[in-house]
Amino acid sequence: MGSTPLPPASLAVLGSCFDIAPDAMLAVDQQGVIVLANAQARAMFGYEGDTLLGLPLETLLPESLRRIHRTHREGYMANPRVRPMGIGYELMGVRRNGKAFPVEIGLSPIATEVGKVAIASVRDISETRRVRLALARSRRDNFLAQIGRLALESPVYELAIRRIPELVATALEVETVAILSTDWHGSNLHVRAATGLQEQSAETIATLFGQANIVRGAFGTGSRHALTADTLRESGFAGILSGLAEAGFADVAMVPLFGRYEPLGVLVVLALTEVGFDHDELSFLQSVANLLAAAVQRSRTEEQMAHVQRLDAIGQLTGGVAHDFNNLLTVISGNLQLLESRLPENTELSEIIGSALRAVDRGSDLTRRLLAFARKQPLQPRAVVPKPLLEELGHMLRRTLGEAITVEVECSGDVPDVYADPNELDTALVNLALNARDAMPHGGLLRIAASEIELQDATNRWKLPAGRYAAFGVSDTGSGMTPDVLAHALEPFFTTKGAGNGLGLSMVYGFVNQSGGGLSIDSRAGYGTSVDFLLPVVAASIGAAAGMKAAHAPPVGERRTILVVEDEAEVRTIAARFLSANGYQVLTAAGAREALDVLAANPAVDLVFSDLVLGNGMNGVELAHEACRMQPGLAVLLTSGYQGKYGGTESPTAPFELLRKPYRREQLVEAVRRLLDAG
């Protein structure tokens, strides 16, 4: 027995039902015209009486949504179906005064005497949405607080970085988050940390963003705004979206990680479905990126500080060892010379002693290199013109490095003069060039350049005060260094070569710092190395100061009694024997206080020969000044294995002459005679 279909519902009956419904109710015919509306609908949309009837449904939507909604409505009316409340979808409605507000609707079709109509139940969810957004913001704020603690307070930086992507993914309810970092060139990217990303996918993503040059192209101009799929497409990076789609991702958002000078990388969020990241979510990502960038800067600063402290500690140890070693060499050299002076010439023993003295010279050169690293090597700075120095160096290197290495020298004539020791500057550049050669066994490009640079403030990678400097750069296309090697590259005796003493870079570092400059190294395995160092340019006051020092050299006359002041007994004995053998009357003292007592008892002393380091109490410079106050015109000759800090302050030896240990007998005698004859 077949069923009898129900007759079509009457619009009047529907209208009666609408009036008792708690929600706004609308009936729309197949052409999209409103045929029924209850009082709640009229109040919600701001219409009076029957003014809603006969209007197109799209009148109640923002103008930007009307065209696409018309398409959806026509599709629905062609295949109507029930969509109960609670499974509806959110739209934006617009009131008669033009104010938009969020709504949620439920749809169901019904047959009437005028044909099928769609019944829409509409609910204003402004308050509900505000609550939902507030809860979402509160939830993200909690995650942001966790990320902030990790980024800024965690003692283990790498563990914190690896944890952050997981927190971001949970906060945004997405599948994949990755932190991409730049290399030292600032272009290539690698995945620093990620969640929801397989190793192969990580390589794909890094390559995709690297090839698109997203860091330089999108963020290199200083833009810190987040990028979404829409803005990537508008900015000409549609290729990224295609690549992400091939990798299975449907949506993306990214923000840059900015350092002081340039982007450090990118924070990338990837979703398997189209998300449409809103303003609040992008603001959350930018806050996370700011915390990450601060953490990266903190980590780099801590690494630099630890590196400087380690080098400074090594420098202090090195300086002390070199001083003691030079004293030992002075004793060995002095006794060998005394033996040599008592032996007849052309004997086998003379040859043996000569060989031992040459070994002493090599030991002295080794300590000189160590002192250069410790920044306690006496320098003789003066004005140096960079262009001819670099051109001559380039000619020499082209002859000696071979045809496989191309040497480029770039230095314009307007690079200002540098205030530095010319010999040490030349040695530093040669050391860097030789290191570059060793890194390019099969040939490559060696580039040496000099230019002027003006630092505006102390926030620079060389940690130098504001001012004018000359920048020297030596770069190669060699094998480069791994991060572990780079961390120890400036330490003395550290080397990855089969031969060599590992003092080349450490000497350069010490010379540059002692000259008032700064040095930085950029290197990556497989991409070469670049060493840049800055030296101060010549100031007008330097020449005047040098002239003043020379003008204040104490006048001395013919004197023959010499006071030797040395706290090391064996070194004191050697110096006294050298001088006695040349006819001088020699008095000795083991310290500054004893020396002043000897001077007070012997006003006829003509010259004081003193070590710089005298144990406790006065150092050699302070003794010299006090001795000259007691006996104006007294000649002074100082000696030391290094020139460093005494009594907590840097004590220059000027205007007193300095003789470096270990010294030969003829060097000591010549210096004494020159000072005594100067008057």
pLDDT at 472 over 90: yes
Rounded to whole angstroms, how far apart are CA atoms 405 and 442? 8
Q: What is the pLDDT of residues 567-612, one digit of tens each?
A: 888 888 888 888 988 889 999 998 889 999 999 988 889 999 998 8
Q: pLDDT category, 263, cuts 50, 70, 90?
A: low
User: Both ends of the chain: CA-CA distance in Å?
Assistant: 142
Any idea of the CA torsion for 166, 170, 172, 175, to the nearest 10 degrees? 70
Neighbour-count burial of 446, counting CB atoms closer than 10 A to its CB (0-12 exposed, 13-18 middle, 19+ buried): buried
619 conformational bin, left if phi > 0, alpha if psi -120 to 50, beta if neither? beta
pLDDT-based confidence at residue 85 (cuts at 50, 70, 90)? very low
What mean pLDDT, rounded, does the chain reach?
A: 78
Is the confidence at residue 34, as pLDDT, over 90? Answer: yes
Query: Tokens 């708690």 label which residue?
Result: 22
**Do 334 and 574 contact (CB within 8 A), yes or no?**
yes
- Kindly report, residue by residue over 612-669, the tens digit of the pLDDT: 888 777 888 899 999 999 988 899 999 887 655 443 334 456 678 888 888 888 889 8
The DSSP letter of residue 605 is -
- Please list the residues that pair with 103 across neighbouring strands: 91, 124
pLDDT at 559 over 50: no
Indicate the DSSP class of residue 48: -
Compute the 3-state secondary structure of the chain and give helix, strand, coil in percent, each to the nearest 5.
45, 25, 30
**Model pLDDT, residue 470:** 93
Place of tokens 């398997």: 272
Segment 541-551, tens digit of pLDDT? 444 333 333 33
What is 11-124's CATH number?
Answer: 3.30.450.20
CB 493 within 8 A of CB 502: yes
Alpha helix (H) residue ranges in 194-260: 199-211, 214, 229-234, 238-246
CB 603 within 8 A of CB 559: no
Superfamily for the 547-677 domain: Response regulator (3.40.50.2300)
Comparing 435 with 296, the larger pLDDT belongs to 435
- Fold exhibited by the domain 382-538: Heat Shock Protein 90 (3.30.565)
Sign of CA dihedral 274, 270, 219, 159: positive
Q: Which of 164, 99, 152 is nearest to 126 (CA)?
A: 99
Once rounded to an integer, what is the mean pLDDT over residues 484-505?
63
Q: How does pLDDT run across 401-459, given as a tens digit for each residue?
A: 878 899 999 998 889 999 888 878 888 898 888 888 888 888 899 999 999 999 888 77
CA angle at 187 for the pair 180 and 280, rounded to the nearest 5°: 40
Q: What is the C-alpha to C-alpha distance for residues 246 and 290, in angstroms, rounded to an integer? A: 30
Rounded CA-CA distance 188/190 in Å is 7
Higher pLDDT, 540 or 400: 400
Residue 316 neighbours by CB under 8 Å, 6+ apart: 374
With 90 as the cut, is the pLDDT of residue 246 above it?
no
Q: Tell me, yes or no, if the two domains 11-124 and 547-677 fold the same way.
A: no
Residue 215 pLDDT exceeds 70: no
Q: Could you give the angle at which helices 279-342 and 569-580 cross, rounded to 10 degrees? A: 50
State CA 393 to chain mean position distance.
30
Q: Where are the domains of the chain?
A: 11-124, 130-277, 318-372, 382-538, 547-677
Which residues is 256 bridged to in the sheet? 266
Q: Are 164 and 179 in contact (CB under 8 A)?
A: yes
Average pLDDT of 173-195?
A: 75
Q: Which of the following CATH numbers is that of domain 130-277: 3.30.450.40, 3.40.50.1100, 3.30.70.260, 3.30.497.10?
A: 3.30.450.40
Q: What is the mean pLDDT of residues 206-217?
A: 66
Percent of the chain with pLDDT over 70: 78
Which of 49-63, 142-156, 231-245 is predicted most confidently? Answer: 49-63
The model's pTM: 0.42
Alpha helix segments (H runs only) across 374-472 = 386-401, 422-438
